[in-house]
Structure formats: C-alpha cells, structure tokens
Amino acid sequence: MFIKRMLLFFGGCFLSISSFAGFVGEPTRALITETFPWSMTGSVGYASLSDAHDGQGQTAVGRMAIGKSLGDLLCGILGLEFGIQNGTTMQLQLSQATLDSLGGMPVTVTVNPLLDVLATLRVMPVQTYHIFGELKLGAAYRRMDVMFQDTVNNKSQFAGEVQAGLGVPILEAVTLSLLYQGVFGSSINFQVENTSATGLIANIPVQNGVLLSLNIAF
C-alpha cells in the first residue's frame, strides 16, 4: 500500500513534467550516443524491504550513478551504469519464541549502501521522441550487519536487480524517468541453534521500490 501511494504521487509529478517536456528540444539517439556518451544519474524515491517488523522496512532512498553509452541498437541505446544507493536500519520480523531463544532482544540490522552494475537499454520509438522506455538489468552487492548482538551473523550477498519504467526529455541532454526498482532475493530464513543460542540469517530481504531519476548526459 505504501509503495502504491508513492507510485501514484511520483506518477503525478512525472505526468506533469512530461506535459512540459513536449515544448522543449527533441534530442536524437545519435546526438546522445556521439555527443554525450557519459551520464550522471541522481535518483530519489522510496523502497520497501521484506521481513521487517511493523513496517520498518519502508524507507526513503537516494541513488547516484555514472553511465556510459555503448552504442545504438535497432530499438534504442545500449549502455552500462555503476551506482550506489543508501540503505536503512530496521528490526527483523521474528516470532516471540525465536526472540526468547536469543535472550528476548529484537534483532536490529543495518542494510548497508547498495552497490550495483547494470546494463541499460533506452528504447525510443522514433528518432525524435517525447517519451521513451527504460530497462536496466544487472547485479547488486549488499551487506547486512546485525547491531547490538554478536550471537547473530552478518550477511553479504549478490542479488539480481531490475529497474524499468518511462522517461521524458527535459533539455537537450537531460531526461527524467520514473522507474520501478526490484532487488531480488528470498526470505531471510532465520534459524536458531538452541544449543549455542545463536541465530543464522540465510538471506538479505527482497527490496521493491520506485525511483524518480534525473539523468544528465555529457
């Protein structure tokens, strides 16, 4: 529900800006790939991590990335992007019986900033465009550290990542995109070793969110 509300909010902003974008310049694919091969992307948005207690996995996020256009395809522009995105601190959703076996304290974790590398595809239906599709696929590295307890393990993990959505040009080398972001994974699958009173986290939670991204090519 929280992510749905944020999608509606950002969607409204995006539609307002896309209406304005129809009056500005119309960059072509050749202009972008040859004149402005590099780009910087700044994003803001919201994300929701699974397995969090009482909605604590819902957080504001910011992302910075640098990208490089690799060339034209028949359907658009292919590129590569390296990014970093902030994390969050939350309590894990665990049963009271599980917490009692660990001494009764909640398990609080910090999901550290995410590092990712993504292949990007910007799909343009015509050479001069007012709207385009954007797809990013790749891998993200994440680390989750347990706070206040040394009886539960920290966890590092690579996961698949996807970003997908629509964008509009704002200026000759500036675009704005509204993107869904998903970082794959599975349940934390928390296990307790009763003889030693220690806990084991098997996975870092799944992450879903929405990003409003400003891209400046240079």
Mean pLDDT of 138-163: 96
Instruction: Look at residue 74 and tell me whether its pLDDT is greater than 70.
Output: yes
pLDDT at 174: 94
C-beta separation of 46 from 59 below 8 A: yes
How remote is the C-alpha of 200 from its chain's centroid? 26
- CATH label of the domain that carries residue 155: 2.40.160.20
**What's the confidence (pLDDT) of residue 87?**
96
Q: What is the mean pLDDT of residues 171-180?
A: 94
Domain of 200, in residue numbers = 2-217
- Kindly give, in sequence order, each residue whose CB lies less than 8 Å from that of residue 97, ignoring residues fewer than 6 positions away: none
Domain count, the chain: 1
| Beta bridge partner(s), residue 192 | 199
Spatial contact of 201 and 188, defined as CB atoms under 8 Å apart: yes
Q: What whole-number percentage of the chain has pLDDT above 90?
A: 68
Check if the beta carbon of residue 5 is closer than 8 Å to that of residue 55. Answer: no
pLDDT tens per residue across span 78-100: 999 999 999 999 999 999 999 99
Put simply, whether the predicted model's pTM sits higher than 0.95 gets the answer no
User: What is the predicted pLDDT for the residue at 76?
Assistant: 83
What whole-number distance in Å separates Cα of residue 214 and Cα of residue 10? 13
Looking at 41-45, 83-87, 118-122, 172-176, which range is the least confident one? 172-176
Question: Does residue 9 have a pLDDT over 80?
Answer: no
> In this structure, how many other beta carbons lie within 10 angstroms of the beta carbon of residue 156?
11
**pLDDT value at position 200?**
96
